[in-house]
Amino acid sequence: MQPNGHQLIDGLLRGDRASLARAISFVENAAPSSMKILDAVYPRTGKAYRIGVTGPPGAGKSTLVSRLVGELWSEGKSIGVVAVDPSSPFTRGALLGDRVRFQEIPDDPRFFVRSMASRGSSGGLAFRTGEVCDLLDASGKDVLVIETVGVGQSELDGAAAVHTTVVVLVPESGDEVQAMKAGLMEIGDVFTVNKADRVGADRMARCVEEMLHLGAGGDGWKAPVVLLSALSGDSFPLFLDALRRHEDHIRKSGDFARLKIERGRAKIEEIVERERNREFWKRSEVECSFEEALAQLAGGKTTPYREAARMLDQFRREGK
């Protein structure tokens, strides 16, 4: 860790915004010190209530998140927001600004927002989003709101990173709902039909309710469908009530505490897999064997499956 690493960690744990921002930059860029920072703050994680907001493009996720954050802030909550934005094809950075959506909230130490580039992640979450949330959690935030790029059947990783998944739809979302029906049934804890003043909003809500009824799970929670307007605030108290009821449900069931264990298990698997891959490919004999395999493949003398099996067998024989 860098010479001032301990001061950085101490500042983060005290809720210092500059220390938090710097630590997030280290983690997002996979700096050498990032693992030590995450290790040091991990015991202080697991307290913040994590809300994920997802839905098809144009559903009004950003507007809903902005109003949600404003309501929570007015209640005295300390809030962290991670907005996972589309990546620039040139810089791989986030295209949207950090504070553009939250101009109505003053410069308050209780509020911290960070935009992160998705960098091609198929799950709508930036690769380091969970770790950034851990830093926000350890800094003392009461609530974390994670806004993802979009939703689809392959995009279930967002649900694994949060306590409550909010799926935002609009009256025109019929085609999207049909296309991602199975994924929606699995990840949604609270459903909203935004822009409820538009034609077809009631019909859309009924459609979602019917789908939820057919795919009802056995965890004791019946996902509500809330018609609202995030822009005007109409029916927004109903949405806040749905969030509070789900938080109460998961705390009583033990699911709130289990999230930290599940994320810990996934993180161990991720780190071990990454390090094993690194150990495998950095060995000179593997690189040489790989080049030979490509030459054999180009000559039509083998297949990728045979060569992969041969290389793995050689790796295992050498005790790695």
| One pLDDT digit (tens) per residue for the chain, 320 residues | 444 688 999 999 999 999 999 999 999 888 989 999 999 999 999 999 999 998 888 889 989 999 999 999 999 999 999 988 654 434 444 444 444 566 666 678 899 998 886 554 444 455 688 899 999 999 999 999 998 866 554 355 566 789 999 999 999 876 666 655 556 667 889 999 999 999 989 998 998 888 887 765 667 899 999 999 999 999 999 999 999 999 999 999 999 999 999 989 988 998 899 888 888 888 767 777 888 889 989 999 999 999 889 888 887 877 65
Rounded to whole angstroms, how far apart are CA atoms 68 and 79?
A: 10
Cβ atoms of 213 and 80 within 8 Å: the answer is no
Rounded to whole angstroms, how far apart are CA atoms 290 and 308?
A: 9
The CB-side HSE value for 106 (13 A sphere, CA atoms) comes to 2
| Helix axes of 255-282 and 284-298: crossing angle, nearest 10 degrees | 80
The residue count for the chain? 320
Strands (E), 151-214: 164-169, 190-193
For the chain, which domains are there?
Answer: 1-44 (no CATH), 46-256 (3.40.50.300), 265-317 (no CATH)
Type of residue found at 126: A
Token duo for residue 5: 């690493």
pLDDT of residue 3: 46
Strand, helix or coil at 262? helix
Q: What are the start-end ranges of the H helices in 42-165?
A: 61-74, 129-138, 157-160
pTM as predicted? 0.85
pLDDT of residue 277: 87
Cβ atoms of 63 and 158 within 8 Å: the answer is no
Strand, helix or coil at 128? coil
